[in-house]
Structure 1
Amino acid sequence: MSKLNLPSYLEDKIFEIKSSDNTVSRITSYFPLSDSEKQEICSILKTDLGFYSIFTDNISDEEWNRTKTQIKKRFNDELFEIDKKS
């Protein structure tokens, strides 16, 4: 992920940032970002963009902070398993 000067608590929730011509066009997070988080990102980047998430469940910040390491590890492990099967 490229460095966009996002606060670490937001950057931590982001799986992927798509950009072209130095313009961010899409952000994919692990779980849906709140409206205030989306607004904060748009304000920092000074642009509107598409927001997507891998999982559809909404989780609290407390739950995210408690489980993020496991979620990221499991997700990455499963991605690597898919690559090995192809």
Structure 2
Amino acid sequence: MNVDFPNRLKDKIFEIKSDSNNNISKIVSYFPFSESEKQEILLILKRRSFDGFTSIFVDRVSASEWEKTKDQIKKKFNDELFDIDKKF
């Protein structure tokens, strides 16, 4: 699974999962990808379709909103995940 996504897409991806054949089976983003981003990913993956897009949050954010808040969102999300481990 050696895929080279542009940094602007890579930055929006939380996790990439692969199947037993090492093919990408799921791409988890922080927020849903736009249709143009999905199309770009399909081109990179050399696929006509892909139903493995999912996101942590359901809200739609603009590119400018993402740029302004991405570090804060990532930090808060990661901090909360690690706090879950401490509670249990």
Aligned-residue Cα RMSD (Å) equals 1.2
Aligned length in residues: 85
4+ long deviations beyond 2 Å: none
What is the deviation of 1:3?
A: 5.2
Deviations 1:8-65 (A, max 9, x none): 0000000000112220011010000001101100110112321000001000000100
Q: Give the percent of matched residue pairs that are identical in Structure 1 and Structure 2.
A: 61
Q: Counterpart of 2:4?
A: 5
* Separation (CA, whole Å) in 1 of partners of 2:22 and 2:38: 19
Taking structure 2 as the reference length, what is the TM-score of the superposition?
0.91
- Please list every run of 5 or more consecutive structure 2 residues that lacks an aligned counterpart in the other structure: none
Taking structure 1 as the reference length, what is the TM-score of the superposition?
0.93
* Separation (CA, whole Å) in 1 of partners of 2:26 and 2:80: 23
- Please list every run of 5 or more consecutive structure 1 residues that lacks an aligned counterpart in the other structure: none
